[in-house]
Chain A
Amino acid sequence: MRLSQSVSSVLLLATASIAQAASSWSFDEGLVSIAARKGADGVKEKLNAKTPLSKPISLGSSDALKVALTAKDNGKGKRPHQLFVVLKDKDSGLEAPFPLTTKESGKAVVQITQKDIPVQLLVATKPLEVSIVIGSFGSAQAYNSRVFDVQIKTDPTAPAPSYEKPVRYGPKPEIHHIFRADPQSPPKIISLFFAAAVVATVPALFLAWLILGANVNHLSKAISAAPLSHASFFGSIVAMEFVFFMYYTSWNLFQMLPVAGVVGVVTVLSGTKALGEVQSRRLAGER
């Protein structure tokens, strides 16, 4: 079957070269084999200059890929100037040529192991395209055609080959700053509940004082004894709270300090008088 195929291909080649006036390069007796170092059965496939092998050949980490062929110029064995096996990664378009050792008769051979293959091709996921390039000086038409594919099987126990692309000037990925999250507040209903609970302590306090008998019955007595002092003392305490309120809402420190100073002086001056009156009531046994 294979013999008939190769015979027919030779015939085809012959007719083709007759059809073209100029001679052309091709090859014959092409053989690709995998020599496994571990003594496992190697793969052997005949190569055809016209049609590539349908299945990719797998190349293990300790295997050697051997390509042997006879270069022919118009059917006659001859040594070409250029006889390369070219491995190509279809995705990246990268190629690695391997020149064959050629004899005068056109017989050529090359052995490729994974060590010989550049790392850029070793990391390729798809099978590498293997083509044969035969060319030489003169008018003979050069030959360049894909003959088979090879799938690289890297050693799973060894560290995988890694390849870092060289730095190239070009656009860089966009960066958008990720902002910190805004501060969060608890649900308003919870804040409202606790605010209400805090506010509720005020009536509770006043109620407790009332129950304990608190009153303001001496207000008239105190006012009549020292009207100006009491009014301005209590008024200044209230005013101080107002100053603090204004400072919270709109004033700055320099607006607040002089006013607080004035209020404070009033508090001290009127306080001595007013608290003296309170003391006199205590000494009189009225408290």
Chain B
Amino acid sequence: MRSLLSFAVLVLATVVSAISTTGDRLLVVLDDAAEQAGYSKFLGDLKSRGFKLSFETPKSESLSLFHLGERAYDHVILFPSKLKGLGPKLTGQLLLQFLNADGNILVALGSDTAASTALVSLLTELDIHLPAERTGLVVDHFNYDSVSAPDKHDVLLLPPPGSHRPGVKDIFSAGAPSDQVIAFARGVGATLGAGELLTPLLRAPSTAYSYDPSTQAETVDDPFAAGEQLSLISTFQSRTSARFTLVGSAELLADKWFDTEVQKPGAAKAVKTFNREFAKRVAGWTFQEIGVLRVNWIEHHLNEVGGSNETNPKIYRIKNEVTYAISVSEYAWDAWTAFSVPPNDVFQLEFSMLSPFHRLTLQPDAAHSTPDAAAFTASFKLPDQHGIFNFKINYKRPFFTNVEEKNTVSVRHMAHDEWPRSFVISGAWPWIAGIGATVAGWLGFCALWMYSAPVSGKKTQ
């Protein structure tokens, strides 16, 4: 079974090369087809990775996210639009429906054009908040590009984001030299709600702030948000693993910033931006090319000497020793690879009935791992409680698709003949002796009653 599966994976891997796990139909929405030229490298990278790009304008008659109730595209990129609303084909509700139907959306904004109302209503649904005037400008007087914005300070230079927090895989800047910078030009910052589905991919430096250039040109006494509260690139991953990314600066994806040299104030020399690789990773994550997990197989069996050898039995007994194993792969751009748990993170198994009775760390199982699938295993003793239990995997981490697996088994109580016999229980010895005494007494009584002669000298009448 397992070899068949891996063969199928192999076949799949050879047929499909360099493409998202959820499809290759990509819709690019631009105000004007001529704007394509400004993003030619970014869009070219997508095309070379195997996406089939369709270009539309928001006003286009032929534009439709759905066809006969099915998604017409797998992914959507929305570049900044000057329109106040995006028209009847791209309402906030429709975009939300698209997300609900497991489509992925990448939205790019810019500070020179206010976000359209359709987008704001979508963002509000996701608990991502833009300034009230639908636009803003993020500036930082400490980390700006002294080549292109020596006066306005609106081109932020940021180090690659690194790991979001301990235990989260660093998929956006791994392998990047530490002196690399990301140019974030004329962008909008957002604040995020407290939900666990939202993750800021790129935060503003602590000295940055967002203001409204039209009303706060002189001094800023009431900034929309400042410091690390300000999320420059925000991500949202739904419970069904559909992905949404809000890039505050569309220029981050533009050719202009892909290979430009930038220089921090006071820095000795100018450096090339990390934008091209970073944009590739942000788009790759959004369109499910990286950070995608897949469960290949799950196996559990009795782990007792002389016990049954059955795989995935429906029933166990309380206090049985059981082994559970799961195989997980991670998609990396064009192939499935063995999933490795990020440092400081653990892959956990729950054995639960309503609430978990056991929550254990799954250990890597090298014996059952292959280059494209990593096996993890845990052995434990079932609880002394009978009922319907689940082997449950609930691995939800930022930037990884959700892994939720449930295998139901019954756990029965001890059968009457599985208990220790009463003669090995020392406390039962007086009772066993009592039975023996009763038997001896009964036999003696029967013999006496039948065969005893009357005592001589005693009258019998």
Contacts and interface: CB of A to CB of B under 8 A. Distances in A.
Interface string B217-234: 011111100111100000
A97 B167 contact: no
Given A79-B218, A167-B196, A174-B360, A205 B444 contact: yes
B194 to A, nearest CB: 4
Interface string B411-452: 000000000000001111110111011011111101111111
B151 interface: yes
Interface stretch (A36-44, A55-63, A129-137, A149-157): A129-137
A278 B454 CA distance: 13
Nearest to A192: B429
A185 B221 contact: no
Contact of A135 (B141, B229, B319, B425): B141
A215 B454 CA distance: 8
A169 B153 contact: no
A117 B218 CA distance: 26
A258 interface: no
Given A79-B219, A82-B220, A287-B460, A180 B436 contact: no
Contacts of B151: 137-139
Nearest to A222: B451
B82 interface: no
Contacts of A4: none
Interface stretch (A10-18, A26-34, A46-54, A234-242): A234-242
A95 B142 contact: no
A195 B422 CA distance: 14
B450 A274 contact: yes
A194 B430 contact: yes
B426 A95 contact: no
B207 A142 contact: yes
Interface residues of B, number: 77
B254 to A, nearest CB: 23
Contact of B265 (A82, A141, A177, A188): A141
Interface in A68-105: 79-84, 86, 93, 95, 97, 99-102
Interface stretch (B51-59, B306-314, B351-359): B351-359
B226 A170 contact: no
A218 B452 contact: yes
B32 interface: no
B348 A172 contact: yes
B453 A175 contact: no
Contact of B361 (A83, A139, A168, A174): A174
A204 to B, nearest CB: 10
A201 B223 CA distance: 96
B287 interface: no
B396 interface: yes
A195 B433 contact: yes
A71 to B, nearest CB: 10
A195 B450 contact: no
A161 interface: no
B407 interface: no
A142 B209 CA distance: 14
A162 interface: no
Contacts of B436: 199
A144 B207 contact: yes
B152 interface: yes
A142 B351 CA distance: 56
A99 B220 contact: yes
A137 B207 contact: no
Contacts of A86: 206, 227
Interface in A156-183: 166-177, 179-180
Contacts of B434: 198
Contacts of A197: 430
A191 B227 contact: no
Interface string B357-386: 111110000000000000000000101100
B150 interface: yes
A149 B218 CA distance: 30
Contact of A216 (B153, B397, B437, B451): B451
B455 interface: yes
Contact of A286 (B428, B454, B458): B454
Contacts of B221: 99-102
A230 interface: yes
B388 interface: no
Interface in A182-215: 185-186, 188, 191-192, 194-199, 201-202, 205-206, 209, 213-215
B440 A214 contact: no
Contacts of A214: 448, 452
Nearest to B398: A169
Contact of A241 (B139, B351, B430, B439): B439
A166 B430 contact: no
Given A142-B142, A234-B447, A95 B357 contact: no
Contacts of A237: 442-443, 446
Given A99-B222, A171-B167, A185 B426 contact: yes
Interface in B305-340: 319
Contacts of B299: none
A79 B381 CA distance: 70
Interface of B: 139-142, 150-153, 165, 167, 194-196, 206-207, 209, 211, 218-223, 226-229, 265-266, 319, 345-346, 348, 350-351, 356-361, 381, 383-384, 396-398, 425-430, 432-434, 436-437, 439-444, 446-455, 458, 460-461
Given A135-B141, A177-B358, 17 more contacts: A81-B219, A81-B220, A95-B229, A99-B222, A135-B142, A135-B207, A142-B141, A168-B196, A170-B397, A175-B357, A198-B430, A199-B436, A199-B437, A213-B458, A234-B446, A237-B446, A287-B453
Q: Which 6 A-B residue pairs are closest in the complex by CB-CB distance?
A: A135-B141, A217-B453, A213-B455, A185-B427, A142-B141, A175-B359
8 contacts: A138-B151, A167-B196, A170-B345, A176-B360, A192-B426, A198-B430, A202-B440, A287-B454
